[in-house]
A and B are shown apart, each in its own frame.
Chain A
Amino acid sequence: MLTMVKEKTIAPTEEKAVVYRTKELNLWYGEHHALKNIELDIYENEVTAIIGPSGCGKSTYIKTLNRMIELVPNVRTSGEITYRGRNIFDPTYRVEELRTQVGMVFQKPNPFPKSIYENVAYGPRIHGIRDKKILDEIVEKSLRGAAIWDEVKDRLHENAYGLSGGQQQRLCIARCLAIEPDVILMDEPTSALDPISTLKVEELIEELKKNYSIIIVTHNMQQAARISDRTAFFLNGEVVEFAETDQLFSTPADKRTEDYITGRFG
C-alpha cells in the first residue's frame, strides 16, 4: 500500500478527478431490491454526503464501495463500480487491496480491545511494517491527523476502552489514517456522539478533505449542509438527486428532495 503508485485518471470534462464511478448498480438482499440503478461519481478531495431517510440504502451503498456489504449473507449485486478506473467487483481485484486504499469509519466507535498505540499500529503492522521507529512515527502522525494526539500522548499504552465515545471515534479515524488511504468512507460517524464530540469530528473532516476524498453517510441534514461539497439524496434505493450541496439545499430540482430537506418526511 505504501509503495503502490496511485494512478489518477482525470476525466476530460471534469476539473476534478473522479475517484469512484458507479454505473447501473443494483443490489439485492435475498429478494429485497435495496439499490436500484445507482449512478454516482465521487470526486477527489471533496466531501460527498449521502442523505436520506432510514432504509433508503445510503449505508448499503457506502458499504458496497469497499465491499464490506459482502459480509451480509445472500447479497447480490449487478452493475459496476470503478475505483480509480478499476472495477471493484473484478475477481482479480483483492478485497484487502481495495480496503487498504479505502478506509472506513463506522457508525459506532469500534476500537480493538487493545492499547491506543496498538489500535493505530495494527493497520501498518499487517501491511508489513515492523520497524518500531517507523511505527512510532506513523502512530504519532495519525493521532495528530485525527486531532487526538494531545489528549492521548501520555497514555498511549492504556486500553482504548478507557477513552470517551468521541475520543474513541477519533481514534478510529486515526487508525484509518495510519494505513494512508486514498478515500475515507464514514458511515454516520457522529450518530453515537454528543454535540461537542460531533463538532470536533466535523472540524476534523474539514481538515482531512485536503488530503483525502471523503464520503459520509449522515442522518443529519444540517451536518451534510455544513461539511459537504456535494450531496446525494437517496430514497427507496434510488438516487433522487445528486448536486453540489449549496444547490441541492437552496434550489432542489426534485420535489421529493425539497419535501425531505424541508422536513416534510423522513
Chain B
Amino acid sequence: MPKIENPLLVSLYSYYVDNILSGTTNIDEANQKLRDLGYEIGRQIYLNTEIVEKTKESVTTREDVAKLIEVVFKILYDKRPADVDMKTARGSVRISDHSCVWCQDVNLEGMRGFGYCEVFSGILESILEVKGVDARVFQEQSRATGASMCVWNVRLV
C-alpha cells in the first residue's frame, strides 16, 4: 500500500471528484468542472501563499511562465516538477510530475480522457491570469488513468 501524502486533501478531493462524476454525463464536462474548481481556489491560493513575493509582478515570456510554475510547485507541493518542457511545442509549456499529489493511489479503468488532476490546471490558469498571462491549461495525461506520470499543458494564448 503506497503511503499517501496529505490524506486529508486527497480524501476531500476524491469526494469532490466522485460528486462531479455522479453529476455529469460526459467526460469533457467533468474535466471542465474540475478545472473550474481549481480556478476558484487558485485565487485563494494566490492570496494565502508566498507566491506573490516569490514571483515577478508581471510574467511575459515563456521562461517567466516556467519559473512561475516552479514556484507554484515549490509552494504547493514542496518539490520541483519532474520536467518543464518548453521546447517540444511552440506556444506551450508542458509540466510533468511523477508523483502528483492529487491522484495518489487512484486507479481508474476505461475512463480515457478523464483528467483526474484537472484541478491543478484550473489553479495554474487562475494564477497565470492574475499575473496577466492569458493561458489555457489542461491535463494531457494522468497517473489515475494509467499513465506513467501526470502531464499538464499550458497553452499560451
Is A bound to B? no
A residues adjacent to B (C-beta < 8 A): none
